[in-house]
Amino acid sequence: MLSAHMLSQEAAPNHAFQFLDVLEHADMGILVTDATTRVVWLNETLARYFEVIPSTLIGRTRAAVFREVLAPRLAHPDVFLGRTLYSPSSHTRTVLHVPHPQRRLEHWAWSIESGSFLGGRIDHFIDVTGQQDVLEPLQRPARSQFLDFSSRSLAANGK
């Protein structure tokens, strides 16, 4: 795995080494690509979320990693690829379902607009499984009420 200690001095200033050490163990999965779309860094959390060996992703293109490694581990790989790789937006957000182990990840991505990796991208994957478990029961009655209201409205208008 490429760690903060292995980055060259040209790739990141000294103070960034300490920051990368912190990110290495953050509760969110992080993947960083450079302007050529090559993966230059990822943390252990991302590796754990997708059950991958980090060193196998370094140097590969973001598109290859997403298509060949991450997407196949998702319940709806085409949705993920459509919203991430094929989106013209420089900022994206989507919630992903990882079937094994059962997990929901919120994915955020944006372009890097300054610094050593100008033109690259940062992808964050945040485990929102617990949040989904709380929100789903709360949303169910609202959906049910909406459908009930819609059905009654349609029936009333149809008479």
Per-residue DSSP letters for 3-29? -GGGS-TTTS-HHHHHHHHHHHT-SEE
Element (H, E) at 103: strand 103-111
Q: What's the CATH number for 4-127?
A: 3.30.450.20
Per residue in 39-72, pLDDT (tens digit) is 999 999 999 999 999 999 999 999 999 999 999 9
Per residue in 101-129, pLDDT (tens digit) is 889 999 998 888 888 889 999 999 999 98
pTM summary value: 0.70
Place of tokens 């979320």: 49
Kindly calculate the radius of gyration of the chain based on its CA atoms and give it in whole angstroms.
Answer: 20
With contact defined as beta carbons under 8 Å apart, do 8 and 20 qualify? no
